[in-house]
Amino acid sequence: MGKGRLEAFSDGVLAIIITIMVLELKVPHGSELSDLRPLLPVFAGYLLSFVYIGIYWNNHHHLLQAAHHISGRVLWANMHLLFWLSLVPFVTAWMGEHPGSQAPVIVYGVVLLGAGLAYHWLTTALIGVHEKGSTLEQAIGRDGKGWLSLLLYVAGIGASFLNVWLSVLLYTAVAVLWFVPDTRIEGRLGKGG
Amino acid sequence: MGKGRLEAFSDGVLAIIITIMVLELKVPHGSELSDLRPLLPVFAGYLLSFVYIGIYWNNHHHLLQAAHHISGRVLWANMHLLFWLSLVPFVTAWMGEHPGSQAPVIVYGVVLLGAGLAYHWLTTALIGVHEKGSTLEQAIGRDGKGWLSLLLYVAGIGASFLNVWLSVLLYTAVAVLWFVPDTRIEGRLGKGG
Amino acid sequence: MGKGRLEAFSDGVLAIIITIMVLELKVPHGSELSDLRPLLPVFAGYLLSFVYIGIYWNNHHHLLQAAHHISGRVLWANMHLLFWLSLVPFVTAWMGEHPGSQAPVIVYGVVLLGAGLAYHWLTTALIGVHEKGSTLEQAIGRDGKGWLSLLLYVAGIGASFLNVWLSVLLYTAVAVLWFVPDTRIEGRLGKGG
Amino acid sequence: MGKGRLEAFSDGVLAIIITIMVLELKVPHGSELSDLRPLLPVFAGYLLSFVYIGIYWNNHHHLLQAAHHISGRVLWANMHLLFWLSLVPFVTAWMGEHPGSQAPVIVYGVVLLGAGLAYHWLTTALIGVHEKGSTLEQAIGRDGKGWLSLLLYVAGIGASFLNVWLSVLLYTAVAVLWFVPDTRIEGRLGKGG
């Protein structure tokens, strides 16, 4: 089964998710620079989520590049990932409109956690359709960065009971962690040809 | 006539349909977890429709993979399918905002039925442009699963006069039925090379 | 210059245009079948515009298939066509919300006329980058159907001063005229190989 | 690393940006031609921004065509460009709803400046992954047009303190400047093969 349409469909969904988030930046009624001030938390949330979707697109791009074939299970693992990511605009808007509130920060973390687990399952499903010791499997390795991210999401959710800004800091830390694209695969692909 | 752009355009439309549905999840005014409770029926509807669009994308992907060429009639059969699917966000939102009401459940069923028939016609149009006994024709076979789905949609529409939740159960049953991608085509493609 | 991205970008824009039109079908507040009745004119307009965008996509698909290369001028001629088509959701919604009013019917006709002229210029620009007597040029020929459409749009705009439903009838006639994909190109491509 | 998905994702995002801008053209409540008059500034802003996004798509198309490979840094430089462009619908709407106000004109200029700088960085990142003296590097050359644009954006922002229409004129001048696609690359590609 070819991976072309899986990539095209995922590109489409991710492009839409990343773009409709900007619709939450509601045009202010006033025309002064100061009228943009109430939008700052929404804008900050947009920036963080834009980087997150960008990271997922980058990693998805690297992951699929290392894959040679897919399966029905991979299609659904991918759809499951897109489901979680499709909730990002909703939670971003909720968090942006209630800066400092705990519940949106928790739900934001849960959605990131869901997406993180979904990505992990997609990786596992992809490795499963390749031979043992494939470039893909070697490239992913033990996936320490993936596990650390999941841990930081859980920590972020827990931290919201102390201070919601600590949660936001932890979520941002994961984004920084992944900002550099997945050099594991890039390296392997470079070596392997 | 190449099938590349047919796939690309369909991917685009399906990606947008599946993503704009999430816009119906209106950000709540409050910032408590309990403020999300009224959204639960909308969310459940979103989940069901997401799986439905996912199923259509998966099956479309398998169907077109088995096809070698298309025709003007296939282009319109495909457009017709996309038309019915484009109504899914509307009926999902209507059903989600009126949980337990009969009319939205009926209209949801009618849209699913329309999409199901349109998919059947697309299949027929595709088989029509291939030689007799093609991989595609063999793979589709008698299409028992397709006919059963149409029957279940009709049953679901009828059941709404007894109990709308029975209808929702029947619609969900069809989704479960198709959750596994179309192994008929996958099998044939695997065997045929 | 490759035509791949021109096709991909146009597919994306047309997919979005055709899909966001459905957002004008606002979910009714009531939950009765009769609550859908006020939506009927909007729905009828959606259907007509869906078919129109479908026709443009089909013809664009045929046109580009016959083209072998493009130019900067073609890129802008294409962008110009997309601009007019991007106005279709707006005029569709305006017409749907004011059934029987003259101004929306006129503006709808003007947008169709603009798109029709833009398509004609795109065709001319494409023929211009191909050698004389190319498959593309022969396939387009004298483009009687194209000119007839432009005439019917003008007639439709004029007819609105007598009866707006006559205008709608004329616009629908053009859609029916083009419903069959451009067999000129399909025929030539089939013969030419 | 292949450039196919980078192009596809960018096409998707740009197609959505260019299309959702039309959603700011809110359907008027009245049904007279005169009811469209208040929309004129919004429409003018839409037209300008449509041309801008069209220019970016054209230049992006030319730039990537001259590129043979990409890198993780290029992926992020591209994402950074898309981020600035994703803000165009917001600032276009703000400016269109407050014609003659200074703040929206300044912010519009800042977003154009951000996008212009991001495009410059993308160019630099792309040249960085190609060998010295590549077609790409020669084609870009000293990029006088790029620098002039940045200068005009800054001038436009400054001019808003005198007269906002002077700013709009300067922004429009940049659009006119780029309307012709990047003939530098087209020329080189034509010569180089």
Give the tens place of pLDDT for each residue, D115-157.
Answer: 999 999 999 999 988 888 787 887 777 778 889 999 999 999 9
B27/A94 Cβ within 8 A: yes
Write out the residues of chain B at the interface with chain C, using a CB-CB cutoff of 8 A. 1-2, 5-6, 8-9, 12-13, 15-17, 20, 24, 72, 75-76, 79, 82-83, 86-87, 89-90, 93-94, 97-98, 101, 103-104, 106-107
Average pLDDT of A5-19?
Answer: 93
Chains that touch C (3 or more CB pairs under 8 A): B, D
Give yes or no for residue C134 having a pLDDT over 90.
Answer: no
Give yes or no for residue B189 having a pLDDT over 70.
Answer: no
Give yes or no for residue A103 having a pLDDT over 50.
Answer: yes
Average pLDDT of C43-70?
Answer: 91
pLDDT value at position C137?
Answer: 82
CA distance A137 to B89: 39
Query: Using N-to-C axis directions, what is the helix angle for B102-128 and B164-179, rounded to 10°?
Result: 30
Least confident of A109-113, B11-15, B175-179: B175-179
Give yes or no for residue C193 having a pLDDT over 70.
Answer: no
pLDDT value at position A192?
Answer: 40
Percent of chain C with pLDDT over 90: 65
CA distance A187 to D177: 41
Q: Closest Cα to residue C41, out of C141, C165, C150?
A: C165
CA distance D12 to D85: 13
C8/D11 Cβ within 8 A: yes
Chains that touch D (3 or more CB pairs under 8 A): A, C
Higher pLDDT, B140 or C9: C9
What is the CB neighbour count within 10 angstroms for residue B187?
11
Average pLDDT of A139-145?
Answer: 78
Asked if A146 and A119 touch (Cβ cutoff 8 Å), the reply is yes
Least confident of A175-184, C43-52, C63-72, D2-11: A175-184
> For B48, which residue in chain A has the nearest alpha carbon?
A83
pLDDT value at position A111?
Answer: 97
Average pLDDT of A25-38?
Answer: 92
Average pLDDT of D157-161?
Answer: 97
Instruction: State the pLDDT confidence band at D186, using cuts at 50, 70 and 90.
Output: low
Query: DSSP letters of chain C?
Result: --SHHHHHHHHHHHHHHHHHGGGGSPPPSS-SGGGGGGGHHHHHHHHHHHHHHHHHHHHHHHHHHH-----HHHHHHHHHHHHHHHTHHHHHHHHHHSTT-HHHHHHHHHHHHHHHHHHHHHHHHHHHTS-TT-HHHHHHTT-HHHHHHHHHHHHHHHHTTT-HHHHHHHHHHHHHHHHS--HHHHHHHHHH-
pLDDT value at position B191?
Answer: 45
Percent of chain A with pLDDT over 70: 92
Give yes or no for residue A96 having a pLDDT over 70.
Answer: yes
pLDDT value at position B186?
Answer: 59
Asked if B58 and A74 touch (Cβ cutoff 8 Å), the reply is no
Using a CB-CB cut-off of 8 Å, the residues of chain C touching B86 are 18-19, 22, 50
Least confident of A1-15, C36-50, C113-127: A1-15
Mean pLDDT of chain A: 89
Tokens at B85, concatenated: 């699917």
Average pLDDT of D55-79?
Answer: 90
pLDDT value at position B88?
Answer: 95
Asked if A25 and A42 touch (Cβ cutoff 8 Å), the reply is yes
B7/A12 Cβ within 8 A: no
CA distance B66 to C7: 23
Give yes or no for residue A75 having a pLDDT over 60.
Answer: yes
Query: DSSP letters of A41-54?
Result: HHHHHHHHHHHHHH
Higher pLDDT, D62 or C101: C101
pLDDT value at position C94?
Answer: 94
A19/D9 Cβ within 8 A: no
Average pLDDT of B146-168?
Answer: 95
pLDDT value at position B62?
Answer: 87
pLDDT value at position C126?
Answer: 92
Query: DSSP letters of chain D?
Result: --SHHHHHHHHHHHHHHHHHGGGGSPPPSS-SGGGGGGGHHHHHHHHHHHHHHHHHHHHHHHHHHH-----HHHHHHHHHHHHHHHTHHHHHHHHHHSTT-HHHHHHHHHHHHHHHHHHHHHHHHHHHTS-TT-HHHHHHTT-HHHHHHHHHHHHHHHHTTT-HHHHHHHHHHHHHHHHS--HHHHHHHHHH-
Torsion of CA C53, C54, C59, C64, to 10 degrees: 90
Give yes or no for residue A9 having a pLDDT over 50.
Answer: yes
Higher pLDDT, A38 or C143: A38
Nearest Cβ partner of C22 from B72, B75, B87? Answer: B87
Beta strands of chain B (E only): which ranges?
Answer: none
CA distance D17 to B49: 25
Least confident of A80-84, C17-21, C86-90: C17-21
Asked if B62 and B181 touch (Cβ cutoff 8 Å), the reply is yes
pLDDT value at position B192?
Answer: 40
Instruction: State the pLDDT confidence band at C170, using cuts at 50, 70 and 90.
Output: very high
B16/C11 Cβ within 8 A: no
Tokens at A111, concatenated: 């959605």
CA distance D126 to C135: 38
pLDDT value at position D67?
Answer: 87
Alpha carbon D70 to chain centroid distance? 21
Instruction: State the pLDDT confidence band at C191, using cuts at 50, 70 and 90.
Output: very low
pLDDT value at position C140?
Answer: 77
DSSP-assigned letter for residue B163:
-
CA distance C71 to C1: 7
Asked if C170 and C152 touch (Cβ cutoff 8 Å), the reply is yes
Write out the residues of chain D at the interface with chain C, using a CB-CB cutoff of 8 A. 7-8, 11-12, 14-16, 18-20, 22-23, 25, 27-28, 31-33, 35-36, 47, 50, 54, 57-58, 61, 64-65, 179-181, 183, 186, 189
Instruction: State the pLDDT confidence band at C192, using cuts at 50, 70 and 90.
Output: very low
Contacts of B120 (CB under 8 A, 6+ apart): B143, B146, B150
Contacts of C156 (CB under 8 A, 6+ apart): C105, C109, C112, C166, C167, C168, C170, C171
C179/B82 Cβ within 8 A: no
Give the tens place of pLDDT for each residue, B57-77.
Answer: 999 998 998 888 888 889 999
Alpha carbon A66 to chain centroid distance? 19
Q: CA-CA distances (angstroms) from residue C61 to B117, C8, C48?
A: 25, 11, 20
CA distance B97 to B94: 5
Nearest Cβ partner of A15 from D12, D76, D97? Answer: D12
A94/B181 Cβ within 8 A: no
Average pLDDT of B113-137?
Answer: 90
Using a CB-CB cut-off of 8 Å, the residues of chain B touching C58 are 72, 75-76, 79
CA distance B191 to C5: 34
Query: Using N-to-C axis directions, what is the helix angle for A102-128 and A88-97, rounded to 10°?
Result: 160
Instruction: State the pLDDT confidence band at C188, using cuts at 50, 70 and 90.
Output: low
Higher pLDDT, B187 or C178: C178
Asked if D84 and D111 touch (Cβ cutoff 8 Å), the reply is yes
Instruction: State the pLDDT confidence band at D188, using cuts at 50, 70 and 90.
Output: low
Asked if A111 and A82 touch (Cβ cutoff 8 Å), the reply is no
Using a CB-CB cut-off of 8 Å, the residues of chain C touching B20 are 19-20, 23
Average pLDDT of B86-94?
Answer: 95
What is the CB neighbour count within 10 angstroms for residue B15?
28
Give yes or no for residue B107 having a pLDDT over 80.
Answer: yes
Average pLDDT of D168-188?
Answer: 76
Average pLDDT of C53-58?
Answer: 93
State the maximum Cα–Cα separation within chain D, in Å, rounded to a whole number.
61
CA distance D61 to D50: 16
Give the tens place of pLDDT for each residue, C115-129.
Answer: 999 999 999 999 988
B11/A103 Cβ within 8 A: no
Query: Using N-to-C axis directions, what is the helix angle for D40-66 and D183-192, rounded to 10°?
Result: 30
pLDDT value at position B193?
Answer: 35
Using a CB-CB cut-off of 8 Å, the residues of chain C touching D58 are 72, 75-76, 79
pLDDT value at position C184?
Answer: 57
Q: Closest Cα to residue D46, out of D119, D97, D8, D5?
A: D97
pLDDT value at position D12?
Answer: 93
CA distance D117 to D128: 16
Query: Using N-to-C axis directions, what is the helix angle for A72-86 and A40-66, rounded to 10°?
Result: 170
Most confident by average pLDDT, A41-45, A134-138, C57-61, D103-107: D103-107
pLDDT value at position B180?
Answer: 61
What is the CB neighbour count within 10 angstroms for residue B43?
16
Give yes or no for residue A190 having a pLDDT over 60.
Answer: no
